[in-house]
Amino acid sequence: MRAAAFLLVKDSKASYAIEGENPPQNRLQRWDSTIGQAGRNHLSKKELLRLQTLVIEKPRFIKYGWREQGGFVGEHDRVHGTPIPDHISARWQDIETLIDVLIETNDKLQRSDFDPVLAATIIAFGFVLIHPFVDGNGRIHRYLIHHVLAKKGFNKKNLIFPVSAAILERIPEYQEVLENYSKPRLELIEWQPTPDNNVEVLNQINANIFDYW
């Protein structure tokens, strides 16, 4: 039990460290508890929304729930502030449909004898590439790895693997995996900057891209 608790704390700290955050102890303990319960609840829209409220405590500049604006991962031009995206998220208008597909896929994988590690990869990376929230996507993405593995009985009860800790130690490789998916698809997405230096997707192909990951 002591070893399991150590791994849990280590993984929670690493998940925030990947995002460049150092949360207060009470917030960290709350996320420890959440990861420790991975696999207990059925994956649903309601559950994903609940997880966001646990990741983001007392939001000041964002509101909980599905994105209602464009989204991208990348940088801004230092002079003009225009977006320089490495990844453009799914159009906000398509998010709920794509999440429905993700949940349906998860249900099918759970009912099958599909390899647990591959199943966790499909669901977790499918989620983060859709990027359905304004904030909290990365931590929930890593939580989903724990969730799918636990739900399929890959690890013993109350034992989690240090997924985030392993990612943190190999962050360049983790980023390379994300970029290998995202960069080729950027060429297929027509977009323009918005007045608030976000992105607006102009073509419908964006939704089709996220049907496959």
Please give the chain's pLDDT, 213 residues, in tens.
444 555 555 666 677 677 777 766 777 777 778 888 889 999 999 999 999 988 887 667 778 899 999 999 999 999 889 999 999 999 999 999 999 999 999 999 999 999 999 999 999 999 999 999 999 899 999 999 999 999 999 987 777 788 888 888 898 998 898 888 888 888 889 999 999 999 999 987 656 676 665
Angle at 87 between CA 81 and CA 88, to 5 degrees: 80
Structure confidence by residue, pLDDT tens digits, 91-106:
999 999 999 999 999 9
Q: Please list, in sequence order, all residues whose beta carbon lies within 8 angstroms of the beta carbon of residue 202, skipping any fewer than 6 positions away.
A: 190, 191, 192
Structure confidence by residue, pLDDT tens digits, 62-88:
788 999 999 999 999 998 899 999 999
Euclidean distance between CA atoms 182 and 197, whole angstroms: 20
Euclidean distance between CA atoms 93 and 70, whole angstroms: 9
Whole-prediction pTM: 0.86
Give the domain CATH number at 132.
1.10.3290
Using alpha carbons only, how large is the chain's radius of gyration in Å? 17
Write out the residue range of the structural domain in which residue 187 sits.
2-58+66-209
Is residue 52 within 8 A of residue 140, CB to CB? The reply is: yes
The structural domain count of the chain equals 1
DSSP 42: P
